């Protein structure tokens, strides 16, 4: 903060310096005197002087040269030229160079004090103006930063809305498709089961006929054996069994897909309840155990978690999808590490595997419905989109960190307090393995 009463008097004449000092000190100002231009600039470099009273004709450096340099400084002082040179042209030059006043010697004390007061007032205005300008710049920068942040937030919400809209559309479609496919799949499966049973009876009956062929006249027995060969009866019976088994497996897959699709619809009723996330994980492990036991050692690092209001069956399905994915990513033997912990009002569930990892370009795509890198028949690509949907229903988030050849970690965070019912007026029931 500069001293607003400090005045630098620059004059080579000692008597004039003393006169100035007397007048100014008497009026409450603090004066510092310099006898030459150089000395003035040196003093100015180390101190703040809002005002300089500057003589023009001095040995060495002229007052005009000093004025030029002072006005070139970062925050130039106000300068009043105090001189015996009573020349309007010189005065005009001084004012042009930035002096705020031109006082001709000899002068009255009052005249000097008016000049000084006026110059200091000017200086104060300039300081305030400068401060305002700096603040304004800061404010503009702050506002710009806030606006940029708001823009980014808006873009993120827009992306989220689009994503939700996409999921809602898929949900609507999925609900319709699931409903339409469910019935025919049901009777196809049931009919295939019946046909398999019939096939068993037919093959038993053919076996019985074998026993009777020895009782037939030899030519009839040969005829029967030829017909059996021509019609490839043994092959038909055998192949029909395989065909039926394959069809039943296919129906099983269709059912799995339909179940998966139904997660997107909110038609099935279910109410949220207080449950333990660690228990949900245990349930998921039990159901997925068959898929995991030959591929991975499961390491558990369960934290001490409070119960939360949630849809435990849906969360179990989330964990199951992640566990099955982890097992499928592992070739040979690997490790699946499950960690849970509570931090900052959130529950975290991290499922890490030592599998093949996910290529960086795929890391965004994996959450989209139907994205899969698995062979036909192995993956539908719905697992992670169902996971995302269920986690979002719990007000949570899922992130992935992965390195090709090293492994993948999916981390889910779910708020301890979240009105799960409000999010799901018509909640989906728990689904079978995804």
For ligand ATP, which is the closer residue by CB, 113 or 257?
257
Bond from prior residue into 106 cis (ω within 30 degrees of 0): yes
User: Shortest distance, CB of residue 170 to Mg ion, whole angstroms?
Assistant: 17
Instruction: Answer for the pair 14, 58: CB distance below 8 angstroms, yes or no.
Output: no
Secondary structure (3-state) at 414: strand
Contact partner at residue 366 from Mg ion, ligand ATP, none, CB < 5 to 8 Å by partner kind: ligand ATP
Q: Please, which residue, 116 or 316, has the CB nearer to ligand ATP?
A: 316
CA-angle at 91, arms to 89 and 95, nearest 5°: 115
Closest approach, Cβ 182 to ligand ATP, in A, equals 18
E strand or H helix at 137: helix 109-213
Binding-site partner at residue 371 among Mg ion, ligand ATP, none, CB < 5 to 8 Å by type: ligand ATP
Smaller CB distance to Mg ion: residue 383 or 396?
383
CB of 241 to Mg ion, least distance (A): 31
Residue 349 Cβ, how far from Mg ion at the closest point, in Å? 16
Between 109 and 148, how does the x/- string for binding to Mg ion read (CB under 5 A)? ----------------------------------------
Cβ atoms 175, 264 nearer than 8 A: yes
At its nearest, how many Å lie between ligand ATP and the CB of residue 325?
3
Q: Which of 325, 402, 408, 413 binds Mg ion (CB under 5 A)?
A: 325
Rg, the chain, Cα only: 45
Report the residue number, 16 or 325, with the smaller CB distance to ligand ATP: 325
Q: Is the dihedral of CA 419, 421, 425, 427 positive or negative?
A: positive
Q: Does 383 bind Mg ion (CB under 5 A)?
A: yes
Q: What is d(CA 357, CA 306) in angstroms, rounded to the nearest whole number?
A: 32
Q: Given the rule CB under 5 A, which of 100-108, 244-252, 376-384, 423-431 is the region that contacts Mg ion? A: 376-384
Q: How far apart are CA 358 and CA 104, in angstroms?
A: 85
- Stretch near Mg ion under the rule CB under 5 A, chosen from 32-40, 102-110, 243-251, 321-329: 321-329
- Residue closer to Mg ion by CB (options 83, 388) is 388
Name the site residues for ligand ATP (rule: CB under 6 A).
Answer: 321, 325-326, 329, 353, 355-358, 366, 371-374, 379-384, 408, 434
The least distance separating Mg ion from the CB of residue 321, rounded to whole angstroms, comes to 5
Q: What's the CA angle centered on 143, arms 138 and 146, to 5 degrees?
A: 130
Cβ-closest position to Mg ion: 383
Give the three-class secondary structure for 57. coil
CA 293: distance to chain centroid? 35
List the one residue out of 270, 382, 251, 262 whose CA is nearest residue 320. Answer: 382
Using the minimum distance from each CB to ligand ATP, give the nearer residue, 16 or 413. 413
* 280, 316 contact by CB (below 8 A): yes
Alpha helices in 72-108 (DSSP H): 88-97
- Tell me the β-bridge partners of 123: none
Q: Return the number of the residue (8 or 382) whose C-beta is nearest Mg ion.
A: 382
Pick the stretch among 7-15, 71-79, 322-330, 413-421 that binds Mg ion (CB under 5 A): 322-330
In DSSP terms, 401 is beta-bridged to 409
State in angstroms the smallest separation of the CB of 296 from ligand ATP.
11
In 3-state terms, the chain is what percent helix, strand and coil (to 5)? 55, 15, 25
Identify which of residues 175 and 244 has a Cβ nearer to ligand ATP in the complex: 175
Six token digits for residue 220: 């009839």
């Amino acid at each position: 903060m500069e001293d607003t009463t400090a005045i630098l008097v620059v004059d080579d004449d000692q008597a004039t310096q003393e006169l100035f000092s007397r007048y100014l000190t008497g009026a409450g100002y603090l004066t510092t005197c310099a006898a030459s231009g150089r000395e003035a600039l040196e003093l100015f470099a180390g101190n703040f002087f809002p005002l300089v009273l500057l003589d023009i004709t001095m040995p060495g450096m002229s007052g005009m040269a000093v004025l030029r340099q002072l006005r070139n400084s970062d925050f130039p002082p106000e300068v009043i030229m105090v001189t015996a040179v009573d020349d309007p042209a010189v005065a005009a030059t001084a004012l042009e160079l930035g002096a705020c006043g031109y006082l001709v010697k000899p002068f009255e004390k009052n005249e000097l004090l008016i000049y000084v007061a006026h110059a200091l007032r000017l200086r104060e205005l300039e300081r305030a103006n400068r401060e305002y300008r700096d603040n304004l710049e800061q404010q503009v920068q702050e506002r710009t930063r806030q606006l940029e942040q708001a823009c980014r937030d808006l873009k993120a919400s827009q992306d989220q809305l689009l994503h939700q809209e996409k999921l809602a559309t898929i949900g609507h479609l999925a609900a319709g498709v699931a409903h339409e496919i469910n019935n025919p799949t049901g009777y196809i499966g049931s009919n295939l089961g019946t046909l398999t049973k019939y096939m068993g009876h037919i093959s038993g009956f053919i076996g019985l006929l074998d026993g009777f062929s020895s009782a037939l006249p030899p030519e009839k027995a040969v005829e029967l054996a030829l017909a059996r060969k021509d019609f490839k009866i043994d092959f038909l019976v055998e192949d029909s069994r395989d065909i039926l088994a394959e069809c039943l497996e296919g129906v099983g897959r269709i059912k799995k897909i339909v179940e998966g699709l139904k997660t997107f619809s909110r038609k099935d009723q279910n109410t949220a309840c207080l449950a333990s996330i660690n228990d949900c994980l245990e349930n998921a492990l039990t159901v997925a155990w068959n898929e995991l036991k030959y591929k991975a050692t499961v390491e558990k690092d369960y934290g001490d978690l409070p119960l939360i209001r949630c849809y435990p069956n849906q969360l179990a399905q989330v964990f199951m999808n992640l566990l099955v994915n982890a097992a499928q990513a592992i070739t040979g033997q690997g490790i699946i590490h499950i960690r849970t912990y509570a931090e900052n009002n959130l529950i975290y569930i991290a499922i890490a595997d030592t599998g093949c990892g996910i290529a960086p370009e795929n890391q965004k795509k994996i959450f989209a419905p139907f994205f899969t890198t698995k062979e036909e028949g192995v993956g539908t690509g719905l697992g992670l989109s169902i996971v995302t949907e269920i986690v979002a229903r719990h007000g949570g988030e899922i992130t992935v960190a992965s390195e090709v050849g090293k492994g993948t970690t999916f981390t889910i965070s779910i708020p301890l307090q979240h009105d799960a019912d409000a999010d799901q007026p018509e909640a989906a029931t728990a689904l079978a393995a995804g």
